[in-house]
C-alpha cells in the first residue's frame, strides 16, 4: 500500500483523482491510499517524517527543501501539471492584455499558496515591470477576491478554477491572462524520498504507469465526462461549471503528455523563485528530479 498525501483539493489536480476513479491504480496492480493534509507544508513534513510514502505537490516545495538542506533526498518522479493553472481575470474585456497592463489596476494576487504570484511577478519582471509598483492586494483569499471583483472594489484578480469559470459564466469576469500560455512551468509532480524510490521501485513504477493512464484519459475525455466521473471530489461545483473548467484546462495543455518532467519547465519555475527571492541560488535539475520511472512508463 502506497500512502499518498493530498496537499489540498483543487480541480487542476484532476488526474490524481482520475487515477482512482477510472481504475488506473487497480489496472497496474498497485494499492494507493489518500491521506489528507492541512497544507502543502504539512504534506512535505509528513513525507520527510515517513508518515507518507508519496505526496503530490509543486517542485517549488522540493526546491525549498533542498535549499534548506542540501543533503535532502526528496525528489520529483512523475510530472502531472506541466503548466501554470492560474488566470488573471478582469472586470472588463481586455483582449490585448500584456502583463504590464496591470500597472494602475486594483489587483489582487493569490494568498493561499506562493507559486502563482512568484510566477506572475517573474512575468512582470521579464516585461520590464517592477512588481512592487502594482496596486496589489496580497492577503485576501480567492473567494474574497471574487466577491471584491463583483462588487467593483477590484479591477483584476488572480484565480484558479472553478473561481475563474464562475466569473466567466456570468459575464462578471473576462480572461486577461492564462498563465499556462507562458509555456512549460513545472507545477505539480509526485514527490518521494530517494530511499523510498529505491526500496519500493516496482510499486512506484506501477503508480507512474497509472498516472500516465490518467493523463491520457484526461487528454481524450470531454470535460462533462470528467466532471461526472470526479463529481464526488467536488460536490459543491455544478457539473456545467466543472466541465467548462476542465475543458479550458485541456485547451491550454495544462497536463503533461506523459509523466516525464521537462527541464524547461523546471528551469522556468526555478528562475521565477530566484527572481522573487524564494531561492538564493539555482539548484541542479538532477538533484531534484528522477525521470527514470517516467521514462520507463513511456517506453
Select from 166, 278, 225, 265 the least CA-distant residue to 21: 225
Select from 185, 144, 189, 157 the least CA-distant residue to 267: 185
Q: Write out pLDDT tens, residues 105-163.
A: 999 999 999 999 999 999 999 999 999 999 999 999 999 999 999 999 999 999 999 99
- Return the number of other C-beta atoms located less than 10 Å from residue 232's C-beta: 8
Residues 13 and 64 both lie in one domain: yes
pLDDT at 14: 97
Burial of 176 (0-12, 13-18, 19+ CB in 10 A): buried
Q: What is the mean pLDDT of residues 25-46?
A: 87
Residues 94 and 194 both lie in one domain: no
Q: Write out pLDDT tens, residues 199-256.
A: 999 999 999 999 999 999 999 999 999 999 999 999 999 999 999 999 999 999 999 9
DSSP 261: P
Q: What is the mean pLDDT of residues 53-75?
A: 95
Residue recorded with cell 500512502: 3
pLDDT at 181: 97
Residues 60 and 119 both lie in one domain: no
Angle between helix axes 263-275 and 59-68 (nearest 10 degrees) is 60
Boundary residue ending a domain (130, 156, 181): 181
Domain count of the fold of the chain: 2
Residues 129 and 92 both lie in one domain: yes
Residues 190 and 286 both lie in one domain: yes
* pLDDT for 39 beyond 90: no
* pLDDT for 36 beyond 90: no
CA–CA dist 120, 233 (Å, integer): 29
Taking the alpha carbons at both ends of the chain, their separation in whole angstroms is 25
Domain of residue 113: give its range: 87-181
Burial of 51 (0-12, 13-18, 19+ CB in 10 A): middle
Q: Is the dihedral of CA 11, 221, 84, 280 positive or negative?
A: positive
pLDDT at 41: 76
196: CATH: 3.40.190.10
pLDDT at 7: 80
- Count of positions (residues) in the chain: 299
% of the chain at pLDDT higher than 90:
94
Residues 95 and 215 both lie in one domain: no
Residues 193 and 259 both lie in one domain: yes
Angle at the Cα of 33 (from 62 to 143), degrees rounded to 5? 65
Hey, what's the cell of 145? Answer: 477576491
Residues 188 and 77 both lie in one domain: yes
pLDDT at 8: 83
Q: Write out pLDDT tens, residues 167-203.
A: 999 999 999 999 999 999 999 999 999 999 999 999 9
Boundary residue ending a domain (181, 205, 231): 181
Split at pLDDT 50, 70, 90, the class of 42 is confident
Residues 29 and 17 both lie in one domain: yes
pLDDT at 114: 94
pLDDT at 228: 98
Average pLDDT, the chain: 96
pLDDT at 62: 97
Residues 11 and 73 both lie in one domain: yes
Residues 73 and 98 both lie in one domain: no
Q: Between residues 7 and 157, which one has the greater pLDDT?
A: 157
138 close to 57: Cβ distance less than 8 angstroms: no
248 close to 165: Cβ distance less than 8 angstroms: yes
Angle between helix axes 201-220 and 239-251 (nearest 10 degrees) is 100
Boundary residue ending a domain (181, 196, 211): 181
Residues 72 and 162 both lie in one domain: no
Amino acid at each position: 500500500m502506497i500512502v499518498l498525501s493530498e496537499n489540498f483539493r483543487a480541480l487542476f489536480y484532476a488526474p490524481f483523482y482520475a487515477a482512482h476513479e477510472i481504475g488506473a491504480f487497480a489496472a497496474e496492480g498497485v494499492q494507493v491510499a489518500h491521506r489528507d493534509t492541512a497544507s502543502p507544508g504539512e504534506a512535505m513534513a509528513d513525507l520527510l517524517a515517513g508518515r507518507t510514502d508519496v505526496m503530490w505537490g509543486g517542485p517549488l516545495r522540493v526546491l525549498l527543501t533542498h535549499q534548506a538542506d542540501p543533503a535532502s533526498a526528496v525528489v520529483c518522479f512523475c510530472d502531472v501539471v506541466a503548466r501554470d493553472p492560474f488566470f488573471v481575470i478582469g472586470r472588463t474585456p481586455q483582449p490585448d492584455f500584456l502583463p504590464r497592463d496591470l500597472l494602475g489596476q486594483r489587483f489582487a494576487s493569490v494568498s493561499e499558496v506562493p507559486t502563482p504570484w512568484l510566477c506572475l511577478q517573474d512575468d512582470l519582471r521579464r516585461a520590464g515591470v517592477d512588481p512592487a509598483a502594482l496596486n496589489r492586494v496580497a492577503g485576501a483569499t480567492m473567494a474574497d477576491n471574487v466577491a471584491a471583483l463583483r462588487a467593483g472594489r477590484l479591477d483584476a484578480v488572480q484565480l484558479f478554477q472553478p473561481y475563474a469559470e464562475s466569473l466567466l459564466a456570468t459575464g462578471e469576469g473576462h480572461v486577461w491572462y492564462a498563465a499556462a500560455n507562458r509555456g512549460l512551468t513545472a507545477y505539480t509532480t509526485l514527490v518521494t524520498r530517494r530511499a523510498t524510490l529505491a526500496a519500493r521501485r516496482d510499486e512506484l513504477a506501477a503508480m507512474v504507469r497509472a498516472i500516465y493512464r490518467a493523463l491520457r484519459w484526461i487528454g481524450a475525455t470531454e470535460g462533462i465526462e470528467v466532471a461526472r466521473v470526479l463529481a464526488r471530489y467536488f460536490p459543491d461545483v455544478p457539473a456545467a461549471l466543472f466541465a467548462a473548467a476542465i475543458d479550458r484546462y485541456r485547451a491550454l495543455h495544462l497536463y503533461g503528455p506523459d509523466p516525464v518532467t521537462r527541464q524547461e519547465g523546471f528551469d522556468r519555475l526555478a528562475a521565477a523563485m530566484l527572481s522573487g527571492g524564494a531561492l538564493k541560488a539555482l539548484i541542479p535539475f538532477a538533484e531534484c528530479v528522477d525521470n527514470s520511472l517516467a521514462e520507463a512508463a513511456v517506453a
